[in-house]
Amino acid sequence: MEKTAQMSRIEYIAQALTERKQTVTCAESCTGGLLAAALTSIPGSSAFFERSFVTYSNQAKKQLLNVTEETLRHYGAVSEETVREMALGALIAAKSDYALSISGIAGPDGGTAEKPVGLVWFGFATKQRIWAKHYQFSGSREEIRRQAVQYALAIMEHYLKTNA
């Protein structure tokens, strides 16, 4: 059932973006390109998706998305500030209408008391505004990554449905 829900969500996003002649890009860390793979899993995705950024390291976040050293040092890679900068950097670099960013701790290691395994931050940028929110997922590394992709797709779908 989850697979069906994902496809209908992706199909809705694809149809809405294609009809509006708009594009989306992704800036991913812990999901390693899974969001881009989901968005391009249907035929015709080139109408709304041109490129994506997998910036797993801090160096890649700085080089490709212009995330500042100060942000990474002060807040860390898994933070509201970082996903905001990732989304904005991707939006500008890709010249897209929308950008989704993801940075989190998929585990099984790497968690702390302040930032436990399963914590994932999401950024969403339009040409007018940037949003960020986090969610605490549970499960294995793959389950956390899969849930993060679903959550990012839900953010995109919700925005498109409420901003027709």
Judge whether 8 lies within some domain: no
Query: What is the domain range of residue 93?
Result: 19-163
pLDDT of residue 4: 57
For a pLDDT cut of 70, what percent of the chain falls above it? 96
In this structure, is residue 153 part of a structural domain? yes
In a domain, 61, yes or no: yes
Q: pLDDT tens digits, residue range 23-46? A: 999 999 999 999 999 999 999 999
* 6 within domain boundaries: no
Q: What distance in Å separates the CA atoms of residue 79 and residue 76, rounded to the nearest whole number? A: 6
Average pLDDT for 50-72: 98
CATH of the domain at 38: 3.90.950.20
Residue 12 lies in a domain: no
Sign of CA dihedral 61, 39, 111, 119: positive
Number of domains in the chain: 1
Give the model confidence (pLDDT) of 89-142 as tens digits: 999 999 999 999 999 999 999 999 999 999 999 999 999 999 999 999 999 999
Angle between the N-to-C axes of helices 2-20 and 141-162, in degrees from 0 to 180, rounded to the nearest 10: 40
Between CA 78 and CA 75 the distance in angstroms is 8
State how far Cα 55 lies from the chain centre: 11
